[in-house]
Amino acid sequence: MLDSYAVIGNPISHSKSPLIHKTFAQQTKQSMQYDAILAPLEGFQAAVESFRQQGGKGLNVTVPFKLEAYRLATRLTERATIARAVNTLKFENDEILGDNTDGAGLVRDIECNLGIPLAEKRILLLGAGGAARGVILPLLQQKPSLLAIANRTPAKAAALQEQFNAYGNSIAGDFMHFADAHFDIIINATSASLHDALPELPASVLAQATLAYDLMYSHEPTHFLEFAQQNGVHQLADGIGMLVEQAAESFFLWRGIRPQTKPVIAMLKSPI
């Protein structure tokens, strides 16, 4: 029987993870199967148990189950503990290991694929929900000179800033709070792009940015990336690179082999 893996979420039909992991498996000559599982909103735990009972070795977990996966894990990596969210489960004997590879995926995409070191940079992170929480520690570990967390509801940004205060130089506020500040890198971790909306960010913030990065991806550029381009930001990136890099990190956790990501990113970016 082939080692079996899957991505689990709701909805799931749009997921690119099966294509990504099948390509990784071919590339690294791993005999494995990778499927997509649609779990009922109230049935995540039962779906995971059933997959495990059938001999499943690991799962990628996506919206809206990352917090449930965090609770289900019997052991957590440090980065999952701090993110309070799990996007990768590994089943070994009686243990359910929970990891979070999202932040590492973002950092790898920016540093290795886009060629922009984060050290000494001034970074503005938009959003203070689950997606933002998952990337703060990996960003701070690269030693930026500043990480500013801006959110529509500033109290949530302040709470995150307080939690991560010990790991690096960070500040928090609402979007207007940073109107006169300048940043090298601006990362949109709000869910605004999902709703076809734009965070109400003053254009002045973008003036000196060299990179605008949206964690979301879609066929068309997101409103945030359009806004960044209109205001002179040269380098724009959507979340495709991060998606492939977080998948590679999960693949490494499961199989002990690091697949090549660049050809897979190029494949996903090429028009169909």
Instruction: Summarize as ranges the residues that interact with ligand ATR (CB under 6 A).
Output: 127-132, 151-153, 156, 190-192, 195, 197, 199
To ligand ATR, the closest distance from the beta carbon of 87 in angstroms equals: 11
C-alpha–C-alpha distance, residues 28 and 226, integer Å? 37
Query: For residues 11 and 263, which CB has a smaller minimum distance to ligand ATR in the complex?
Result: 11
To ligand ATR, the closest distance from the beta carbon of 126 in angstroms equals: 7
66 is catalytic: yes
Query: For residues 112 and 194, which CB has a smaller minimum distance to ligand ATR in the complex?
Result: 194
Query: For residues 153 and 165, which CB has a smaller minimum distance to ligand ATR in the complex?
Result: 153
Of 66, 121, 156, 262, which residue is the catalytic one?
Answer: 66
To ligand ATR, the closest distance from the beta carbon of 170 in angstroms equals: 16
The angle formed by the CA atoms of residues 265, 271 and 272, to the nearest 5 degrees, is 105
Establish how many alpha carbons lie within 13 A of residue 79's alpha carbon, considering only the half-sphere containing its beta carbon.
Answer: 19
Nearest residue to ligand ATR, by Cβ distance, number only:
129
Query: For residues 16 and 152, which CB has a smaller minimum distance to ligand ATR in the complex?
Result: 152
- Do 10 and 61 contact (CB within 8 A), yes or no? no
Secondary structure of residue 152 in the 3-state scheme: coil
To ligand ATR, the closest distance from the beta carbon of 95 in angstroms equals: 26
Secondary structure of residue 8 in the 3-state scheme: strand
Which token pair is 150? Answer: 């801006």
Beta-carbon contacts of residue 247 (< 8 Å; ≥ 6 apart):
17, 20, 21, 24, 60, 101, 105
Pairing of strands 146-150, 122-126: parallel
β-pair partners for 99: 88
Q: Which amino acids are annotated catalytic?
A: 66
